[in-house]
Amino acid sequence: MSRVYVGMSGGVDSSLTAALLKEQGYDVTGVYMKNWTQDLPGMKCPWADELADAKRVAVQLGIDFKVFDFEAEYKQKVVDYMVQEYSAGRTPNPDIMCNQEVKFKLFLEAALEDGADLIATGHYATVQAGLTPPLDPEVNSEAAPHPLKAVRGARLLQAKDSNKDQTYFLYRVTESALEKTLFPLGEFTKPEVRQMAEDRGLYTAGKKDSQGICFVGQIGMREFLSQYVDTKAGSIIDQRTGDVLGQHDGAIFYTLGQRHGLDVGGGLPYYVVGKSMDKNEVYVTTDLNNENLWRKTINLANVHWINGRPDEASYMIRVRHRAKLVEASLKQTDNGVELLLKDAERAVTPGQSVVIYDGAICLGGGIVV
């Protein structure tokens, strides 16, 4: 009987994941990953309730339950990375980093070390391992422009529920990690998952989905960042005329395409089209068609391919989580890849990830330069 360590967060998805694997006959151990949080003096740690819920479900299922403490590593690999990226004027995606560095690296290693054969999480994605069989025609219905190649190892495929598909967050996971990973929820939709959790009477069945990045918590990104980075007021400048339109409280807080919170009064809404971290200036426009808001060519660095470098060809890409898949042709460059989009995309933001698909297969991706 294979031993699976399931990352249990106290939410409905990971709860059902553990339940399903147990039903499938695995020897399941639930693991709560203790990540970094800000402790406020005199207050009960906010994640204690999540942990208790995870443990409740483990007890309900009669499975072992453990706590893995990744606080220090999480702080370093995810939080510090995020602050550093924002400080450099980019808009990072800490969830992707968390998957790459914590869940599918530290957790996997710690689980294997502890005696697990496999790990599992409640992500909406599918792993296809071994010699790849032909894809399920339904999953493949997004019309792969290229014939699938059989590979040994493991492929990452989009979830059945395209609305919930989380492969965008998983594109930096390695093939060897995927070989040891189960995503039992990949073949279900969210409503199905809720129903199944309810049918099994899982304690977390009715819980609301968590929102946002856990460690930023209730305070919001702006407040969070201001605790780590010194910010000062600067000018909001009309990109076209060069006129100073108003003041901002730190260029770090602004991101491409942003409309709200600019505090520039009157007339048409302004959008952020750029910023200079050196000059602490934010550039805005009222022109929805501004060239800086739209990109047809995207350069990616820090590229990660799950199953090796794909051919230069046309693929479907996604510029943010749940964004529509759009067509682009891929060209390898010295520093990464260049994507030439069929149609221009709005607000493709430096620091964010672009993920590349071949039909249902997530090939990998990179970070927008």
Catalytic positions, please? Answer: 98, 214
Q: For residue 60, how many other CB atoms are within 10 A of its CB?
A: 16
Pick between residue 52 and residue 301 the one whose CB is nearest to other proteins: 52
Strand order in the sheet with 281-285: 244-248, 234-238, 281-285, 271-276
Q: Closest distance between other proteins and the C-beta of residue 3, in Å?
A: 10
Q: Closest distance between other proteins and the C-beta of residue 227, in Å?
A: 23
What CA–CA distance (Å, rounded) separates 122 from 292?
Answer: 37
- Which residues contact other proteins (rule: CB under 8 A)? 32, 45, 47-48, 51-52, 55-56, 59-60, 62, 64-65, 67
Q: Closest distance between other proteins and the C-beta of residue 46, in Å?
A: 10
b or e along 111-125 (b: 16 or more beta carbons within 10 Å of the residue's beta carbon)?
Answer: beeeebebbbbbbbb
Pick between residue 56 and residue 296 the one whose CB is nearest to other proteins: 56
Pick between residue 55 and residue 160 the one whose CB is nearest to other proteins: 55
Are 154 and 127 in contact, with CB atoms under 8 Å apart? yes
CA atoms in the 13 A half-sphere facing the CB of 84: 9
Q: For residue 162, how many other CB atoms are within 10 A of its CB?
A: 15
What CA–CA distance (Å, rounded) separates 43 from 32?
Answer: 21
Helices and strands: H and E segment counts in the chain:
10, 17
Pick between residue 22 and residue 296 the one whose CB is nearest to other proteins: 22
Q: Closest distance between other proteins and the C-beta of residue 197, in Å?
A: 16
Q: Closest distance between other proteins and the C-beta of residue 59, in Å?
A: 4
Pairing of strands 118-120, 3-7: parallel
Burial of residue 287 (number of CB atoms within 10 Å: 0-12, 13-18, 19+) = middle
Q: Closest distance between other proteins and the C-beta of residue 21, in Å?
A: 16
Pairing of strands 64-69, 271-276: unpaired
Are 331 and 337 in contact, with CB atoms under 8 Å apart? yes
Burial of residue 213 (number of CB atoms within 10 Å: 0-12, 13-18, 19+) = middle
Are 75 and 39 in contact, with CB atoms under 8 Å apart? no
DSSP type of residue 218: G
Pick between residue 59 and residue 301 the one whose CB is nearest to other proteins: 59
Pick between residue 200 and residue 296 the one whose CB is nearest to other proteins: 200
